[in-house]
Amino acid sequence: MKKLIDLTHVIDPAAAGRKFEARVVGADEVNKEVVRLENQWYIMHDISMVNHLATHIETPYHLYKDGLDLSTMPLETFCGEAVMLDLRGCTPGSPISQDDVCLAAEKAGGIREGDIVLCNLGFADHYGTSGYAKSPYFTNKAIVWLTGTGMKMMGVDAGGVEVPQSEEHVNHAALLSKNIPLIENVANLNKIPCARFYLYAFPYPMHTVDSFPLRVVAEID
């Protein structure tokens, strides 16, 4: 029997970390002909937010004006065979080397062409705390090596893949220049009992939008 594991952080408007405002509006503000039956609230929401929030995906359009966006990324990119690299042994606040990634990939049985690669840094439980920023980080050599494996999407249980205090975005560039989208702030990777599984991570298709929260779900046999 297959089991679904939710890998998504819940967005709490009271503690979103970045701008997220959800204003309750009556449905009659949109449709003046609304009829409410007994005990019906019948509301809608007016939402204003930063799109890089909680568990979210970043497409090439994030860095490149002519890059693929949420509406033009191939649909098959967002689901498929996934492999998990266990990097929980890496020291917090220290670099994750190419050797670290290679060893984790070897232990997982290797990365195959077309895989989705999820990296478990062991930091999902720190999400929403000051300790979350102390996760280990990827060297550029490690990211470049991963882009050469044939993976089609990458996800991490951290706030990003860049070297701390660097604003050059070299690791994002290495991924997005090859049309490999990145999912940040993945949750619950410790609940996955195996190295290989099937993953679903579909964002809503929005034209000329680079990023948006999405629901990430692992399917385990």
Residues 81 and 114 sit within 8 Å (Cβ to Cβ): yes
Condensed to tens digits (0 to 9), the pLDDT of residues 184-206 reads: 999 999 999 999 999 999 999 99
Walk me through the domains of the chain, giving residue ranges and CATH numbers. Answer: 19-49 (no CATH), 56-220 (3.50.30.50)
Distance, CA of 100 to CA of 11 (rounded, Å): 32
Condensed to tens digits (0 to 9), the pLDDT of residues 56-93 reads: 999 999 999 999 999 999 999 999 999 999 999 999 99
Contacts of 179 (CB under 8 A, 6+ apart): 60, 67, 68, 73, 77
Residue 156 CB coordination number (10 Å)? 26
Q: Provide the whole-model pTM.
A: 0.96
